[in-house]
Amino acid sequence: MKGYMTIDDIPVEIHDERNMLELIRKAGIELPTFCYYTELSIHGACRMCLVENEKGGLEAACSEPPKPGHKIRTNTARLRKYRKNILELLLSNHNRDCTICNKNGECRLQSIANKFGIKNIRYINTSYTPEPDESSASISIDRSKCILCGDCIRVCNEIQNVGAIDFAFRGSHMKVATAFGVPMADSPCVGCGQCAAICPTGAISVKNSLEAVWTDLLDKTTEVTVQIAPAVRVGIGKHLGFEDGKNAMGLIVAALRRMGFAKVFDTTLGADLTVQEESREFLEYVSKPHDLPLFTSCCPAWINYVEKRHPDLFPHVSSCKSPMQMFGALVKEYYKDNGKRHVHVAIMPCTAKKYEAVRPQFAKDGKPVVDHVLSTQGLIHMIEQSGTRFDTLEPEAVDNPFGIVSGAGVIFGVTGGVTEAVLRALSEDASNAALLATSMAGERGMEGLKEFEVEHKGETVRVAVVSGLGNAGRLVDDIKSGKKSFDFVEVMACPGGCVCGASQPYAPPDVKEIRGKGLYSIDKLMSCKRSGDNPILEDLNEGILKGREHELLHVSYVSDGKHGA
């Protein structure tokens, strides 16, 4: 303890809080903020977190360090007035079509304005006329809703190091823009969607394919199948009265069946196939001399990043399709002679999957194998729209013939999971002790970069597990400059992995960690822990995949010469 501060007459102990805001929140007081996030640099621009000290001075709680003996108040007449005035100023420059907004009900501006009871706005509305940028497959941009908090810019630059957007112009002409205001699709954007996840308003939102899914689902001549990514089951969250991190898979399956999906599958089987292919590829890769490591390929935002920033790395990126695309190819193959029009939907925690699905490299007969990518949030809306009460459902199992999955495939949804799954596959020892040892090799944990070595058949394998494209970019620089050297590198674009994907309901870092732990708990309950032990794989290898592994499970991003997203 480092003394205490008096907040609204309550003494609060100071420990390691970085600023007064953290301390105030620790004291159980929720100060409104638009631009503060623990994982981002302090911007200090929204001025909503101002507090009043004993002398009547105002201090921004987000930037002031806690000071022992300091006395502050968080809710005085002045502060109330100023917060309301700031909200009024924001709203006077905001497209207030709230009821038809993508973020209706999830908008921080809306909820804070509601809390403060803003009923009257004295100034004429000067917001832009909406000019949405729909060029990206992953996100929608509507500047008329932007409050210029800069959260998206800081995520894009500080965390993801993508640098697609920044502030342009200044003063009342300031806006968030790409270089020269080009459409998002023509910018360095990789579609990771982290900007949309953090945006407190409807200015940036995840693209929504709800209506298209409903249309196909309600069309009697169409058979709609669906696959569910591992991370979705632990992130569906509070919206449906469910705890973050708890396995909701059975309920999701039940809900989807009620809605009319003909078959419900688990993307985890795709992950098992990925492990099979990738470990085979890895063994071959390390048996030859190599300066650069083999990079994983499951993450589509990472693929986009390589394509736009480091196309020279492609020869070192695994040729495996992502689990979604492997599974999609499999399902399409399975249903090809079904007689009925078949549509395949993937429910994903990821915004970049939306672009991956329409990539020309994956098209079969000119059509994508995954017809629609539905976000976790989209799934929540669909369930709500269907009228199904989630809390009344009984859990159900996924459908055959793809009904069995391994624990290794489930943990694909968290940083380090792919690596662990591959390590399990490489290990010849299937004992529990060996599994435990593998889990402690260094791949687990939410840190952005983990580096470690493992032994494989007497050889040392140097592994890096990286999440967050900013971390990945720095690692690539270090590898290219020869500062660091590895044999295998797992990359996930979202910090923490897919459980923290931008299509999941927004969650602060501690909740993201709970989701990650949720996947490990599921793994624990699985009897089949290693992908190779999944009996379905053998059937597939001998059946549908026989002789067609390359066509159905592998991809080359450079062969067709197309590089732009």
Partner 1 sequence: MLKSRQELKDLREKCRKAAKDEVRKILVCSGTGCVASGAQEVYDSFREILERLAIPVSLRFIEDGHGVGLKKSGCQALCEKGVLVRVEPEGYLYTKVKPSDCETIVTETIEQGRHVEGLAYKDHDGRVCKTTGEIPFFKKQTRLVLENCGNIDAESFLEYLSAGGYSSFEKALYDMNSQQVIQEIADSKLRGRGGGGFPTGYKWQQVYRQKLFPKYIVCNGDEGDPGAFMDCSIMEGDPHRMLEGMLIAGRAVGASAGYIYVRAEYPLAVRRLKKAIADLEKYGLAGENILGTDFSFKFKINRGAGAFVCGEGSALTASIEGKRGFPRVKPPRTVEHGLFDKPTVLNNVETFANVTVIIDKGADFYKKIGTESSPGTKAFSITGNIENTGLIEVPLGMTLKEVIFDVGGGMKGGKKFKAVQIGGPSGACLTEEHFDLPLDFDSLAKAGAMIGSGGLVVADEDTCMVELARFFMNFTQRESCGKCIPCREGTKRMLLILERVVSGNGRSSDIENLMDLAQTIKDTALCGLGKTAPSPVLSTIKNFRDEYMAHIVDKQCPARSCEKLKKFYIEPELCKGCVKCAKLCPASAISGKAKEAFSINPEICTRCGICVSGCKYAAIKEAW
Partner 2 sequence: MENAIDLDFTRNVIDEFNGAPSAIIAMLQEIQEKYRYLPKEIFPVLSRTTGLSEARIYSLATFYENFSLEPKGRNIIKVCDGTACHVRKSLPILERLRAELRLPQGVVTTGDLEFTVEVVACLGACGLSPVLTLNGKAYPAMTPDKASNLLRSVKESEVPRDA
Site residues, partner 2 (CB under 8 A): 157, 162-170, 177-180, 187-188
180 binding partner (options partner 2, partner 1, none; Cβ < 5 to 8 Å by kind): partner 2
- Using the 8-state DSSP alphabet, how is residue 50 labeled? E
DSSP secondary structure, 69-89, as one string: T-EEES--HHHHHHHHHHHHH
In sequence order, the 6+-apart residues with CB closer than 8 A to the CB of 555 are 297, 319, 320, 321, 325, 361, 362
Minimum distance of partner 1 from residue 482's CB (angstroms):
28
Minimum distance of partner 2 from residue 170's CB (angstroms):
5
C-alpha distance from residue 143 to each of 72, 123, 355, 460 (Å): 36, 19, 22, 52
Of 62-70, 280-288, 308-316, 365-373: span binding partner 1 (CB under 8 A): 62-70
Instruction: Using the minimum distance from each CB to partner 1, give the nearer residue, 67 or 517.
Output: 67
d(CA 242, CA 384): 14
Of the candidate residues 107, 112, 137, 148, the single one contacting partner 1 (CB under 8 A): 148
Alpha helices in 288-401 (DSSP H): 300-309, 323-334, 352-358, 376-386
Minimum distance of partner 1 from residue 123's CB (angstroms):
5
445 binding partner (options partner 1, partner 2, none; Cβ < 5 to 8 Å by kind): none
Burial per residue of 227-246, b for 16 or more beta-carbon CB atoms within 10 angstroms, e otherwise: bbbbbbbbbbbebbebebbb
C-alpha distance from residue 451 to each of 186, 357, 484, 489, 512 (Å): 34, 31, 10, 9, 21
- Using the 8-state DSSP alphabet, how is residue 320 labeled? B
Residue owning tokens 């209506």: 211
Residue type, position 366, single letter: G
| Cβ(438)–Cβ(419) below 8 Å | no
Minimum distance of partner 1 from residue 523's CB (angstroms):
43
C-alpha distance from residue 214 to each of 101, 139, 374 (Å): 19, 20, 11
259 binding partner (options partner 1, partner 2, none; Cβ < 5 to 8 Å by kind): none
Of 128-136, 142-150, 352-360, 398-406: span binding partner 1 (CB under 8 A): 142-150
Rule CB under 8 A: say whether 112 interacts with partner 1: no
Rule CB under 8 A: say whether 71 interacts with partner 1: no
Rule CB under 8 A: say whether 358 interacts with partner 1: no
| Cβ(245)–Cβ(514) below 8 Å | yes
Residues in the chain: 565
Of 121-129, 193-201, 363-371, 463-471: span binding partner 1 (CB under 8 A): 121-129
Minimum distance of partner 1 from residue 50's CB (angstroms):
6
Read off the tokens for 323: 């689990």
280 binding partner (options partner 1, partner 2, none; Cβ < 5 to 8 Å by kind): none
C-alpha distance from residue 266 to each of 310, 326, 327, 369, 406 (Å): 32, 12, 9, 16, 11
d(CA 347, CA 230): 10
Of the candidate residues 17, 22, 64, 223, the single one contacting partner 1 (CB under 8 A): 64
Instruction: Using the minimum distance from each CB to partner 1, give the nearer residue, 45 or 313.
Output: 45
129 binding partner (options partner 2, partner 1, none; Cβ < 5 to 8 Å by kind): none
- For 268, the enclosing helix (H) or strand (E) is helix 268-287
80 binding partner (options partner 2, partner 1, none; Cβ < 5 to 8 Å by kind): none
164 binding partner (options partner 1, partner 2, none; Cβ < 5 to 8 Å by kind): partner 2
Rule CB under 8 A: say whether 81 interacts with partner 1: yes
Instruction: Using the minimum distance from each CB to partner 2, give the nearer residue, 150 or 409.
Output: 150
Q: How many residues bind partner 1 (CB under 8 A)?
A: 35
| Cβ(351)–Cβ(138) below 8 Å | yes
Contact letters for partner 1, residues 162-181 (x by CB under 8 A): -----x-xxxxxx-------
Instruction: Using the minimum distance from each CB to partner 2, give the nearer residue, 166 or 451.
Output: 166
Of 84-92, 223-231, 292-300, 555-563: span binding partner 1 (CB under 8 A): 84-92
Of the candidate residues 47, 246, 316, 554, the single one contacting partner 1 (CB under 8 A): 47
Rule CB under 8 A: say whether 78 interacts with partner 1: yes
Of the candidate residues 2, 3, 18, 65, the single one contacting partner 1 (CB under 8 A): 65
122 binding partner (options partner 1, partner 2, none; Cβ < 5 to 8 Å by kind): partner 1
Of the candidate residues 4, 82, 128, 452, the single one contacting partner 1 (CB under 8 A): 82
Q: Is the dihedral of CA 255, 256, 261, 263 positive or negative?
A: negative
Contact positions vs partner 1 (CB under 8 A): 42-47, 50, 58, 60, 62-65, 78, 81-82, 85-86, 89-90, 92-93, 122-123, 126, 147-148, 150, 167, 169-174
